[in-house]
Amino acid sequence: MPDIRPTDSDCLVVIDLQNDFIPGGALAVPGGDTVVPVIDDLLDRFDHVVASQDWHPAGHFSFASAQPEVQPYDTIAAAYGPQTVWPDHCVQGTEGADFHPDFRIERAELILRKGYRREIDSYSAFFENDRETPTGLAGYLRERGFKRLFFCGLATDFCVRWSVEDAVKEGFDTVLIEDACRAIDLDGSLNAALAAMDAAGAIRIASSEIAA
């Protein structure tokens, strides 16, 4: 496969590269820190970058601490379907919600905050977990004229996966940069996520396939 050369209609989408998802954070993704230099290199290959940011209020519905008699990583029944409950993470205004200090956030033309509605979680950068409430990202990207989206960030099997699948549904050519992501991998969720993204029609590549 020849090197992919990003054009003006391509956009790099960086998902949730935040302190709480880095080893040492409240909801650490194993190896999450290893994607930071890979993404840093990618920033120099794209003219256009957007970033999503988990942005929960304290006491968010998806926090195990806000639910009676559950433990982190349990699944509960939400009004919109099954919901994994998490350790408190990415609480608005905290250091854990900040982007990793080595992420050159000044390269992002848009920061899309999600998960700020107290009673509903938001994995995807496009829709809340009810699968009905849009974040506005699709409209922004379409109005900017972007046709192809390249995804990287954390975590492969949750926020990246849901964002990739929704990007395909919204009509974008969608590419997962696999070595620029890491997974939580709950009970085989990584393999399930990769299979789902493949089935949706996303393409998987390595960062080395994108021309500098």
Is residue 87 a part of any domain in this protein? no
11 among known catalytic residues:
no
CB count, 10 Å around CB of 14? 29
pTM attached to this predicted model: 0.96
143, part of any domain: yes
Catalytic residue among 114, 152, 157, 166: 114
What confidence score (pLDDT) does residue 77 get?
93
Residue 150 lies in a domain: yes
Coil, helix or strand for 106?
helix
- What's the confidence (pLDDT) of residue 22? 98
Quote the pLDDT of residue 2.
59
> What span, in angstroms and rounded, lies between the C-alpha atoms of 89 and 170?
28
Q: What is the CATH number of the domain that holds 16?
A: 3.40.50.850
DSSP state letter for 2: P
In a domain, 91, yes or no: no
Amino acid 38: pLDDT: 98
Please report the DSSP string for 6-35 in residue order.
--TTEEEEEE--BGGGSTTSTTPPTTGGGH
pLDDT of residue 1: 54
Q: Is residue 147 part of a domain?
A: yes
Residue 114 appears among annotated catalytic residues = yes
pLDDT for the residue numbered 3: 79
Annotated catalytic residue within 11, 152, 159, 181? 159
* Low-confidence stretches of the chain (pLDDT beneath 50): none
User: 159 an active-site residue?
Assistant: yes
Inside any domain, residue 175: yes
Number of domains in the chain: 1
Please count the residues of the chain: 212
Asked whether residue 129 is domain-assigned, the answer is yes
Give the integer Cα–Cα distance in Å for 56 and 130. 16
> Residues near 193 by Cβ (< 8 Å), separated by ≥ 6?
156, 157, 158, 160, 161, 183
Which of these is catalytic: 10, 11, 16, 152?
16
Structural domain span for residue 49: 10-57+99-209
Judge whether 92 lies within some domain.
no
